[in-house]
Chain A
Amino acid sequence: MNFERVVFGFFIILTLSLNVAFVAGGGDRAEHHNVWILTLAIIVNLVAIGLKLGDRSQTGALLLASGLVACFLLITARIVWIVVEPADVGRPGPEGMADIVSIATGALIANIVATVILVGDTLLSRR
């Protein structure tokens, strides 16, 4: 067992789980989506990217790429949240919420890809 793999696997799978936790629920209902979970997902994703820096193997490069895609989309979703959030009510309206959730769903795909690569690489290395 390799300690680095444990840590990296933890962060990659945690990102995926948080992403699902954020996206799950009605697409345009602001009360179904928690902005804290989104922010946490961004942070965990950044940590996973940081852990992958310096890996010179092909799978490492692919994991880094998918992590960057997910991070880019999650940050975009967070910015949209800030922009569409009304100053007084505190929650975005249904139109803004639909945008945020669809962008976060895109990030979910990138996170699924990263997890599949991680699991596949571990299984294929057979040790």
Chain B
Amino acid sequence: MTQTSDIDRVAMIVLRYMRRPLFALLLVYSVGIVGMALMPGQVVDGETTYMNLFHAFYFFTYTATTTGFGELPDGFSNEQRLWTIFCLYTGVIAWFYALGSLIGLVQNPHFTQAMDRFRFARKVEGNVEPFIILCGFGDTGSLLARGLSDHQKRAVILDSDPERIKALGVRDYSVSMPGLCADASAPRHLLAAGVEHPACLALAALTNDDDVNLKIAVMARHLNPRLRVICRSTSARHEANLRALENVTVVDPFEIFAQLVYWAIARPELHNLNAWFVGARGVKLGVPVKVPRGDWILCGYGRMGHWIQRCLLAHGVGVRIIDPGVDSSVAGDGTVIVQAHADHASLVTAGIDDAAGVVAATNRDSDNLSTLLSVMALNPDTFRIVRQNSHENQVAFDAARADLVLQHSLTTARRILKLLVSPLIQELIEWLEEREPAQTEALVARLQGVVGTESPHLWSVRLVADEAPAVVDYLDAGGGVALGALCRDARAFPEGLPCEVLAVRRAGQSIMLPEKTFPLDVGDELLFCSMHRVEPLLQATFHNLYTLRYVLTGVDESRGYLFAWLEERLRRRRAGHKPNGRRP
């Protein structure tokens, strides 16, 4: 449906543009050819010859296109030469006119747009690999696309800003990522992007406008109710709306940011583990940030400031607020409030001397950076968390030497990537958050033992016929597979491979940090954490029945019928002789 409408549009524009030049060409050709055929040629044997229509057409073709082979097939008479002059001028002018119109058509913005849409829709339609639709290619969108590309996942991108789509064109992704400059909230464009495509895994609405995101989510829900929708939203009104819809996940960048700030302050070990999982730069497992205890100064009390304050107060961390626009009644009782910009004087008023740390969380990078400078001058010992708004200011923030830089587009992109690529990790982090810090520390110690100082490789395997045929066969045949036995090293039985199973997902239920003796079942999804080189070894166990049996039992079974039969006989004979002790 979308394809034909785009073809119709392209055809219509071509026809409208090329109608007149084509008519002009047709007229000039017919007059020239007919005239040439009528012109009397040279006299041969007393008879005047005429050019036939085919020769006239042949002659006109090479004359009008200024090729000019000469007088073919025979020399011309003077009448014919006169007509040739006429043909030449009119034909060449008609051709120039037609070519000019064609070039004009190619440059026509409506035509290029229609062609882009047509090509985009065809590319999406022909795609067989699973893909994700990204609506909005701003900071979050481009970071998410990069992350998806790193995981070899395809994406289809819609953005209403032509500059962003041009930026997409110069990225070097490892997979194809078609993009279209179009309003993503229009259902026509969502259809072109493949909302109804069977390979479409999810749709992420990431534009900066909450209304547009809501619209995209609602449209996508109507067009394909089974499609998973991830929607960025910062307003409570929209969130309530969206959460009521099935299959819709709401991602609030401010909430995620506040959660991370809270983890950094109150649960450093969890923050460290999370940052290590998502592969943040310069993070070492088991080396959490050391955050002092005490009251925190919060600079900036907008939407994000609200979230941070709510999050910190809920977990018993005192907050002092500096914001020029803050109303003393909104923040709650007992909170120190300074109605000013976060400069020298206001930081002193807020008690920078005895504060544990400062969170510079305004929506302007220049304000946040200048707050950092003031804090450095007043009390260099305080812990500094700073919010980075724009990806472009990366270098300035690197140089600012803050203890923790949080960029909300990056944190949002990472969260969405986790939801799309490995949802079990997010569940694990949330599960750990609800439990004692000691549990997280125990897990960190185990992971340190397994992975050491390398960066982690996380992957999940479902025990289905496609991904683990040997395990499924073994389980179907009535065998039992324990988690610890499955992860043994076939090269050094019965040692285990250096890997940890973080979670098992079975029938919608997640079992976190399963024991080594955990019995596996068909259809389970296992989340592994290890190094890159371990994955192929485990894959070999999953795919090869003999390797699997060897790691489970430690016995290298016979493969051929003959040896299996011999072995069976030998075993029976041994069993038969045991009661008697010796052969008679």
Q: Which residues of A contact B (CB under 8 A)?
A: 2-4, 7-8, 50-58, 60, 125-127
Contact = CB atoms under 8 A, between A and B. Distances in A.
B563 A57 contact: no
Nearest to A60: B559
B490 A125 contact: yes
Contacts of B546: 56-57
Contacts of A50: 560, 562
Contacts of A58: 544
Given A2-B556, A57-B544, A57-B545, A51 B491 contact: no
Contacts of B562: 50-51, 53-54
B21 to A, nearest CB: 63
B54 interface: no
A4 B545 contact: no
Contact of B559 (A54, A125, A126, A127): A54
B558 interface: yes
A127 B490 CA distance: 7
B561 interface: yes
* Nearest 9 interchain pairs by C-beta: A54-B561, A55-B559, A4-B563, A127-B491, A54-B560, A126-B491, A51-B560, A2-B556, A4-B558
B14 interface: no
B53 interface: no
B280 interface: no
Contact of A55 (B492, B493, B547, B560): B560
A35 B286 CA distance: 72
B257 to A, nearest CB: 47
Contacts of A57: 544-546, 559
B564 interface: yes
Interface in B546-573: 546-547, 556, 558-564
B490 A4 contact: no
Interface residues of B, number: 16
Contact of A51 (B544, B556, B563): B563
Nearest to B537: A126
Contacts of A8: 560
A52 B560 contact: yes
Contacts of A7: 563
7 contacts: A4-B560, A7-B563, A50-B560, A52-B560, A53-B561, A54-B560, A125-B547
Chain A residues touching B, majority SS: helix
Interface string B328-370: 0000000000000000000000000000000000000000000
A63 B507 CA distance: 40
Nearest to B564: A54
Contacts of A53: 560-562
A124 B561 CA distance: 24
A60 B557 CA distance: 14
Given A55-B559, A55-B560, 11 more contacts: A4-B558, A4-B560, A51-B562, A53-B560, A54-B559, A54-B561, A56-B559, A57-B544, A60-B559, A125-B547, A126-B490
Contacts of A126: 490-491
A94 to B, nearest CB: 41
Nearest to B550: A127
Nearest to B563: A4
A60 B561 CA distance: 12
A50 B562 CA distance: 8
A2 B545 CA distance: 17
B146 to A, nearest CB: 35
Given A54-B564, A56-B545, A57-B544, A4 B559 contact: yes
B47 to A, nearest CB: 73
A55 B557 CA distance: 11
A72 B14 CA distance: 64
A112 to B, nearest CB: 22
B104 to A, nearest CB: 60
A4 to B, nearest CB: 5
A55 B549 CA distance: 14
A54 B559 CA distance: 6
A60 B560 CA distance: 9
Contacts of A52: 559-560
Contacts of B492: 127
Contacts of A55: 559-560
Contacts of A60: 559
A73 to B, nearest CB: 23
Contacts of A54: 559-562, 564
B466 to A, nearest CB: 15
A15 to B, nearest CB: 16
Nearest to A51: B560
A55 B564 CA distance: 10
B253 to A, nearest CB: 47
A60 B559 CA distance: 9
A102 B490 CA distance: 43
Contacts of B545: 56-57
A53 B564 CA distance: 11
A1 to B, nearest CB: 9
Q: Which of B544, B546, B562 has the most CB of A within 10 A?
A: B562
Contacts of B544: 57-58
A24 B431 CA distance: 71
